[in-house]
Amino acid sequence: MKRTIQIGQPELTVELRRSSRARRYSLRVSAVDGKISLTMPAGAREKAALDFLHQHERWLRDKLAGQPEPVIPAIGESLPLRGKRHLLVAGTSRAPVIVGDEIHVPQTGKPLGPPLAAFLKLQARNDIVPLCDILAARVNRKVSRISLRDTRSRWGSCTENGCLMFSWRLVMAPPEVLHYVVAHEVAHLVEMNHSPAFWRVVEQLDPDFQTWRGWLRANGAQLHRYRLAVPS
Ligand SMILES: [Zn+2]
């Protein structure tokens, strides 16, 4: 099992790796997904690792802040979908289609952002709507409406009258992450707060939720790198 450690506020998740060959600590931020890992000598204490991380927290945050370069979707670039990289390939259909681990996009000469945004929104709807119904049924609640938007500040929300909203960018994350956010919003149909009782409902719907909540905190910003909105 992978060991992770959290530091600071907002929390950063760091994966700890022990190596018998490592002589010193080495801290890395993945350019692909922003994952932070700390390689340490096999015999090093976790307390020492934590001290090391605290000393380098500033560096880490600067590194992360400077990292998410915007990605303008184009043929040859890739896009994450359900947690997997999909290469964008020139296709012949009028709308983007999934072909194995590729997304075939129409060649119109126009920016790919808008058709890909519409495509992802549809994919997100296909995943989110049935999942909402399944999870809501498990807590004897009904979802009155589901809307999908491109929100920056939140991944989902729930109103008093049972309207759920989700960011369609969640479909780019691993499916477990989307599952967690749906479980979170469905749990608000039972508890309109973030009390311990609320988190117990979340846990009932998604026993592994901490892991995916952590993923979202650590990597959520990466999902906003992709310029998928309508060009202004
Ligand atoms: Zn909430």
Q: What is the mean pLDDT of residues 195-205?
A: 97
Q: How far is the CA of 118 from the centre of ligand 1 (A)?
A: 26
Looking at the structure, tell me whether residues 62 and 164 fall in a common domain.
Answer: no
Q: How far is the CA of 127 from the centre of ligand 1 (A)?
A: 20
Contact 218, 12 (CB under 8 A): yes
With 90 as the cut, is the pLDDT of residue 62 above it? no
Q: How far is the CA of 165 from the centre of ligand 1 (A)?
A: 11
**Residue 94 resides in a domain:** no
**pLDDT tens per residue, range 14-33:** 999 999 888 889 998 875 56
**Domain span including residue 203:** 111-224
- As a whole number of angstroms, the distance between CA 2 and CA 232 comes to 43
Domain count, the chain: 2
Strand order in the sheet with 36-41: 3-7, 12-19, 36-41, 26-29
**Residue 132 resides in a domain:** yes
Query: For 141, how many CA atoms within 13 A lie in the half-sphere containing its CB?
Result: 24
- As a whole number of angstroms, the distance between CA 95 and CA 116 comes to 8
Q: What is the mean pLDDT of residues 142-156?
A: 91
With 60 as the cut, is the pLDDT of residue 150 above it? yes
**Residue 101 resides in a domain:** no
Q: What's 186's domain CATH number?
A: 3.30.2010.10
Q: How far is the CA of 191 from the centre of ligand 1 (A)?
A: 9
**Residue 145 resides in a domain:** yes
> 12, 38, 66: which is the final residue of a domain?
66
At 56, the pLDDT band (50, 70, 90 cuts) reads very high
**Residue 88 resides in a domain:** no
At 153, the pLDDT band (50, 70, 90 cuts) reads confident
Q: How far is the CA of 188 from the centre of ligand 1 (A)?
A: 7
Q: How far is the CA of 184 from the centre of ligand 1 (A)?
A: 6
- As a whole number of angstroms, the distance between CA 172 and CA 138 comes to 26
Looking at the structure, tell me whether residues 216 and 117 fall in a common domain.
Answer: yes
Q: How far is the CA of 156 from the centre of ligand 1 (A)?
A: 8
pLDDT at 132: 97
Beta strands 102-106 and 3-7 are unpaired
* DSSP H helix total and E strand total for the chain: 6, 11
| Mean pLDDT of the residues in the chain | 91
Looking at the structure, tell me whether residues 120 and 216 fall in a common domain.
Answer: yes
Contact 186, 139 (CB under 8 A): yes
pLDDT at 232: 42
**pLDDT tens per residue, range 85-104:** 999 999 998 899 999 999 99
Q: How far is the CA of 113 from the centre of ligand 1 (A)?
A: 29
Q: How far is the CA of 205 from the centre of ligand 1 (A)?
A: 14
Q: How far is the CA of 133 from the centre of ligand 1 (A)?
A: 18
**Residue 59 resides in a domain:** yes
- As a whole number of angstroms, the distance between CA 52 and CA 56 comes to 6
Q: What is the mean pLDDT of residues 170-191?
A: 98
Question: What does the DSSP assignment read for 175-225?
Answer: HHHHHHHHHHHHHTTT-SS-SHHHHHHHHHH-TTHHHHHHHHHHHGGGGGS
Strand (E) or helix (H) holding 108: none
DSSP annotation of 172: G
Q: How far is the CA of 194 from the centre of ligand 1 (A)?
A: 6
